[in-house]
Amino acid sequence: MTLPALSDLTAFVTIANQRSFRKAADELGVSPSTLSHVMRGLERDMDVRLLHRTTRSVSLTEAGERLLARLQPVLQELAVVLDGVNEFRARPTGTLRINSSEPAARLLLQTVVPAYLARYPEVALDLVTENRLVDIVAEGFDAGIRLGEAVPQDMHAVAFGGRMRFLALASPAYLAEHPAPHTPDELMNHRCIRGRMPNGKLYRWDFERQGQALAIDPPGFLTLDHLGLMVESAAMGMGIAYVAELSARPWLEAGTLVPVLPDWAPASSGLCLYYPGHRHMPLALRAFIDVLGEVFAHNARPA
């Protein structure tokens, strides 16, 4: 058997994780046809079929499943070895991949990212925003950014930006026609904009005041799966939305949205950058954490 090229094995792992030639090709920066040719060559050299292909899907054969299970840890360990060599470089280089929520990414773009890229022009920052929690190790990210309570327990984390409130928000125009509620229970009589999570469940509205906690599932005449659309709909006067304050900060500052029940607004633990503690930290990530700490000097701390 001909020893496969490392690039071919990497391509196989990417296809296996994405279950799609097109998505894998986008990630690797090649065409789907090129990737298909690579896989045919790999299967020929190994003399075994690794993938089941149809016009709509890709799945692994038994041999492919076994190869993926053994190969993925090897490639991850190889990345650790190469990252260790990078410590001998004078400056960080390469690509830094971070998975983040959209509001957190906007905050970073306004604060940390410009300073980081100006200081380390040899680094390419790949900032991916998705409305779902991902396994950053399995999906090839160096780090993730989420609310502190959503960070997996086996990860190391750095908190930044301080504590964050969740607010019920509405436009002045809506409140002019619909008197503001005085208690969370009164939301049941309002037009509410609900948020749907990636798992299909509706996001619950949690409130707290002086030790009293309430969870409300108000009637939703409009349900959306994107925070930005929820905020914009509320700003247009469509109803009351419940989001993290960070998501609505520009509208709050402009006065196009105002808090509803602000005395009942619960505070979360705030944002955290998190990364796997069992792997060697890439130099580019270490530098990003340093800049993060400088920008949020009074808030960044080990979590």
Tens of pLDDT along 29-67? 888 888 888 889 888 888 889 898 876 778 899 998 998
- Residue 191: is its pLDDT beyond 90? yes
Contact 200, 211 (CB under 8 A): no
Q: Which residue has the higher pLDDT, 213 or 297?
A: 213
Return the structure tokens found at 66. 């076994």
What mean pLDDT comes out for the span 131-139?
78
- Residue 87: is its pLDDT beyond 80? no
How is the chain split into domains, by residue range? 6-86, 94-162+269-302, 164-268
- The dotted CATH code for 6-86 is 1.10.10.10
For the domain made up of 94-162+269-302, the CATH class stated in words is alpha beta
Q: Which residue has the higher pLDDT, 159 or 278?
A: 159
Q: Which residue has the higher pLDDT, 267 or 98?
A: 98
Of the options 3.40.120.10, 3.40.50.880, 3.30.450.20, 3.40.190.290, the CATH number for the domain spanning 164-268: 3.40.190.290
Specify the pLDDT at position 298.
Answer: 46
Q: Residue 131 — pLDDT band, cuts 50, 70, 90? A: low
Which residues, in sequence order, are bridge partners of residue 129? 100
- Residue 136: is its pLDDT beyond 50? yes
Which residues, in sequence order, are bridge partners of residue 83? none
164-268 shares the fold of 94-162+269-302: yes
Least confident range from 59-63, 92-96, 130-134, 258-262: namely: 130-134
